[in-house]
Structure 1
Amino acid sequence: MGSIFSAIGRGINAVISAIASVIMAIVGAITTVIVTIFDVIADILCCRCFGSRRSGGRMSRRRGRGVGY
């Protein structure tokens, strides 16, 4: 009789673990999407705020290419 209850308990444990794994996967995917959105917004804001630094880097690259020709 004890083995029957043990098997039922293991089955319930397996079902609960599977449901928890699915929920964790969904939460992980949602978190990844939210973090990616914030990263894109931060990149756009940084491009606007620090645009002079990046344009300076482009200037030096153009000068480097011009020397080679």
Structure 2
Amino acid sequence: MGSIFSAIGRGINAVISAIAGVIMAIVSAITTVIVTIFDVIADILCCRCFGSRRSGRRMGRSRRGGGMGTRGTY
């Protein structure tokens, strides 16, 4: 009689574990999507706030460094 109850208990445990695994996978997927959305929004905001300053500095550096002096060193 004990082995019957043990088998039933193992079956219930397996079903509950499977349900918990599915729920954890769903929560993980939702969390990944939310974090990705916030990362994209943060990237867009950072590009708008700092993009023009950084690109202006890059352009200034390339203009200064792109003279005859650098061509002569090659």
TM-score norm. by structure 2 comes to 0.75
Q: CA deviation at 1:46?
A: 0.4
What displacement does 1:60 show? 6.5
Structure 2: tracts of 5 or more residues without a match: 69-73
Q: Which has the larger radius of gyration?
A: 2
State the 1:64 CA deviation. Answer: 6.5
C-alpha displacement of 1:51: 1.4
Aligned-residue CA RMSD in angstroms?
2.4
Query: Relative contact order, CA 8 A, sep 6+: which one is greater?
Result: 1
* Runs of 4+ more than 3 Å apart: 60-67
Instruction: Give CA-to-partner distance per residue, 1:10-62, whole Å, 9 cap, x none.
Output: 00000000000000000000000000000000000000111134304642687
Structure 1: runs of 5+ lacking an equivalent: none
Aligned residues: 68
Distance 1:2 1:35, change over 3 A: same
For residues 49 and 38 of structure 1, the distance between their equivalents in structure 2, rounded to whole angstroms, comes to 16
Q: 1:22 to 1:45 in 2, by over 3 A?
A: same
How has the CA–CA distance of structure 1 residues 63 and 21 changed in structure 2, closer, same or farther, with 3 Å as cutoff? farther
Distance 1:66 1:32, change over 3 A: farther
Q: Percent identity?
A: 91
